[in-house]
Structure 1
Amino acid sequence: MMFLLSRLTLPFLSAVIFLASGSGIQADEIKGTDTDKPITYEDHVFPVLKKSCAPCHGDGKQEAGLNLANYANTIKGSGGGEIVVAGRSSASRLIEVLTSTEDGERMPPDGDPLAPEVIDLIRKWIDTGLRENSGSSVAEMRTLGFKPAASTNDSGPGAIPSDLTTFPQVTTLRPYPVLALAVSSRAPVAATSDYGAIELFDPTTKKPYGAIPFPEGEPLVLTFSRSGRLLLAAGGKPVQSGAAVLYDVATGERLASVGDEPDAIIASDISPDEKLVAIGCTSRLVKLYSTEDGSLKATIDKHTDWVTAVAFSPDGKYLATADRIGNIHLWDGKSGGVILPLSEHKKSVRALSWRSDSAVVASCGEDGTVVWWDVKDGWPLANKPNAHADGVLDCQFGPNGELATCGRDGTVKLWSAEGKELKNFSITDHEASDNHLPPGVRILPTRVAVSSDGSTILAGDTAGKLHSWKLP
């Protein structure tokens, strides 16, 4: 678990133009590449830097104030900041310039690029703690000391934010869409995404509680823990980095961060006992991380396309996962062991939601279908193939077994526990000029939720607006 450090600014680019032309170094030229041995600066990294960087960034010459002739100066970086971040190769400027596909940014600027296996070795050195030599301890990995709650039973109220610290928020040129929306099941608290931030408010009155920072970039997933004391936010910067972060709902304090992905995380959930975080990746993998020490507990590689949704059952017994081509799988919520497939969708599954009794999981997809699954045997208890024309974008169970959905037809719907349509609400198209959107752009609902007391249904839209309707 570690902080995601801010990406270094553009002026620092000149500080990493250090790999001279004609490097061509290969993995078999580096000492001790046995994968069972720790990767160290002296044995693995220094030979690369000495051969490729010494003319411009050695003891005699340090362009942009960067000296790579020894371990201490390499860790120090230059006046522009660090070039390596312990435990976070995806946040390290060194790896960014070695792998860049942009003209004029990839290093070395002239000769052949470093071999992929050499770059992977440098990545491993960073991710395993920047060891100087085989006798060195790892660098500070910036752990956050998160501990799961001793008890997460359903007695007692959830946390409510108060006196959140203010911070400067990014203003986007156009309205930022509501990419994530969540409601606590234990308290009148809801969360929506903004760029670099998460807004907290009362779902019934829309009274704001304040905001908390998400420096990783775009929060694409928000979900509250069963205890109501934690908020999980996952996302990142597409094709750059991704992480899942845990916050204290009452204070907004950042407690822990798990995962270090080379792409934004598009699916995530926290187990009811708060000991595991599951993430779904564009790499087609599902990964289970410990919230206590950040270690990877299990990897699921059953999916053959992007993992678009992951959800723990409220009792923690199951983990449901889904992907971009319509596959859904049910797993053991502790070990990740396979239980059974759920086959019905013909296109991408957009969301999964568990009923509070853990007996039923709902799924929705781009094929316009909503399905209520009996998890005992994978039987579709109810199947609505035309729930929303042109695709269903989200589904979330309410406290009384009702299901809220939204879709590309511009509507939000409420369904009974038996799968009968109860309510139909319309998202009115706004004038493009009022939302600073290009002419002809249609505004659609993106996310949906039901308040903890079942009195209000919420929906966010592509224009960054939040809609709400009172329920009888």
Structure 2
Amino acid sequence: MIDRNLRFVGHVEAVTSVQFSPDGHLMASASQDRTVRLWIPCIHGESSALKAHTAPVRSVNFSHDGQFLVTASNDKSVKVWSVHHQRLLLSLSQHTHWVRCAKFSPDGRLIASCSEDKTVKIWDAANKVCIDSFTDYKGFANYVDFNPSGTCVVSAGSNHTVKLWDIRMNKLLQHYQDVQTITKLATLHGPVLSVAFSKGGEKFASGGADAQVLLWKTNFDTFNYKEVLKHHIRRIHTDDPPHLLDIYPRSPHSHDGKSQSIEVSSRITHNNICSFSI
């Protein structure tokens, strides 16, 4: 059983996203009440509200140094906040529909966002500009994240797909459930709602409406990645984070709380996948 030790009260509508700061001293939450809250995760549950969004807030994410917060909202914007000063720093507003998720790159220079306008956008946070836009005409992404080196983004789709994009070459590397471009590892039953890379980037996990968590291999060991990068004359190394000059400028391309336990399922036995039913 899960022991709910502390209850934090502050939001007046559903909480859509929560995250701890890297040092664990703060916790951020986003809500349908249009606010973001910064909490001190102690017995008193003290918090302060960040207000600037004009519609429900979908996601919240700390930068890796814990100094900044990026949020995504149904008001079609991505906003960046100062954690220390607790104030709005900038707003990115080129999406034309609800923004589902926004994440910082590992070094904090870039932001990836996904929207119901069927695009995944890459932003230069310092210069407040969109430097790349990937379009999925068959659906929209619910969730997006960077790999540990900051060279690729993975998106989780409403159309039961997971896609891996290289932001240096501005191209789709892998499309799970597209048998023409990669071996299909498993059938995804229902919208994919979340994705996350492992620390080394060799695997990533996805979770969706089918109540399963799947563990995938990126296949970089079988995909001749360095050979592909040789054709990209500005960068041939796979481990270093991309420099902004490599990808900018570019023209855009067209709770439920009832679950109390986790059970390992044996329904999928492929060597590359572990499946957990919740």
Q: Compared with structure 1, are the counterparts of its residues 359 and 213 closer, same or farther at alpha carbon in structure 2 (3 Å cutoff)?
A: same
- TM-score normalized by structure 1? 0.43
Give 1:388 shift.
1.4
Aligned amino acid, residue 174 of structure 2: A
**In structure 1, what is the Cα distance between the partners aligned to 2:79 and 2:17?**
15
Question: What SS is found at the alignment partner of 1:373?
Answer: strand
**In structure 2, what is the equivalent of residue 225 of structure 1?**
21
**In structure 1, what is the equivalent of residue 208 of structure 2?**
407
- Residue-by-residue CA offset, 1:296-339 (whole Å, 9 max, x unaligned): 22121110000111111122121001101321100123343222
* 1:215 maps onto 2:16 in alignment: no
**In structure 2, what is the Cα distance between the partners aligned to 1:377 and 1:335?**
21
**In structure 2, what is the Cα distance between the partners aligned to 1:419 and 1:207?**
37
Q: Compared with structure 1, are the counterparts of its residues 403 and 468 closer, same or farther at alpha carbon in structure 2 (3 Å cutoff)?
A: farther
Give 1:277 shift.
1.9
Judge conservation of contact 2:53–2:75 (CA < 8 Å) in 1.
no
**In structure 2, what is the Cα distance between the partners aligned to 1:346 and 1:274?**
35
**In structure 1, what is the equivalent of residue 34 of structure 2?**
242
Judge conservation of contact 1:325–1:349 (CA < 8 Å) in 2.
no
Question: What SS is found at the alignment partner of 2:57?
Answer: coil
**In structure 1, what is the equivalent of residue 219 of structure 2?**
418
Give 1:353 shift.
2.0
Question: What SS is found at the alignment partner of 2:213?
Answer: strand
Q: Compared with structure 1, are the counterparts of its residues 214 and 346 closer, same or farther at alpha carbon in structure 2 (3 Å cutoff)?
A: farther
Where does 1:371-390 land on structure 2 (aligned, <5 Å)? 371-385=163-177, 388-390=188-190
Give 1:356 shift.
2.4
- Residue-by-residue CA offset, 1:178-228 (whole Å, 9 max, x unaligned): xxxxxxxxxxxxxxxxxxxxxxxxxxxx76472241421321011222333
Q: Compared with structure 1, are the counterparts of its residues 409 and 465 closer, same or farther at alpha carbon in structure 2 (3 Å cutoff)?
A: closer
Give 1:343 shift.
2.5
**In structure 1, what is the equivalent of residue 87 of structure 2?**
295
* 1:263 maps onto 2:60 in alignment: no
Aligned amino acid, residue 414 of structure 1: L
Give 1:253 shift.
4.1
- Higher helix proportion (structure 1 or 2): 1
Aligned amino acid, residue 338 of structure 1: C
Aligned amino acid, residue 213 of structure 1: F
Aligned amino acid, residue 230 of structure 1: L
Q: Compared with structure 1, are the counterparts of its residues 208 and 377 closer, same or farther at alpha carbon in structure 2 (3 Å cutoff)?
A: farther
Where does 1:425-440 land on structure 2 (aligned, <5 Å)? none
**In structure 2, what is the equivalent of residue 311 of structure 1?**
103
Judge conservation of contact 2:35–2:50 (CA < 8 Å) in 1.
yes
Judge conservation of contact 1:325–1:346 (CA < 8 Å) in 2.
no
- Residue-by-residue CA offset, 1:28-56 (whole Å, 9 max, x unaligned): xxxxxxxxxxxxxxxxxxxxxxxxxxxxx
**In structure 2, what is the Cα distance between the partners aligned to 1:375 and 1:293?**
32
Q: Compared with structure 1, are the counterparts of its residues 212 and 370 closer, same or farther at alpha carbon in structure 2 (3 Å cutoff)?
A: same
Give 1:351 shift.
0.7
Q: Compared with structure 1, are the counterparts of its residues 209 and 356 closer, same or farther at alpha carbon in structure 2 (3 Å cutoff)?
A: farther
Judge conservation of contact 2:6–2:43 (CA < 8 Å) in 1.
no
**In structure 2, what is the equivalent of residue 103 of structure 1?**
none
Judge conservation of contact 2:140–2:158 (CA < 8 Å) in 1.
yes
Give 1:366 shift.
0.8
Question: What SS is found at the alignment partner of 2:51?
Answer: strand
2:67 to 262, 270, 275: 275
CA RMSD, Structure 1 to Structure 2 (Å): 2.9
**In structure 1, what is the Cα distance between the partners aligned to 2:137 and 2:256?**
25
Percent identical among aligned pairs is 20
**In structure 2, what is the Cα distance between the partners aligned to 1:305 and 1:235?**
18
Where does 1:133-172 land on structure 2 (aligned, <5 Å)? none
**Gap regions ≥5 residues in structure 2:** 179-186, 222-254, 265-273
- Residue-by-residue CA offset, 1:362-382 (whole Å, 9 max, x unaligned): 101111110122222332221
Give 1:271 shift.
1.8
**In structure 2, what is the equivalent of residue 435 of structure 1?**
none
Give 1:252 shift.
6.5
- Higher strand proportion (structure 1 or 2): 2
Judge conservation of contact 2:56–2:75 (CA < 8 Å) in 1.
no
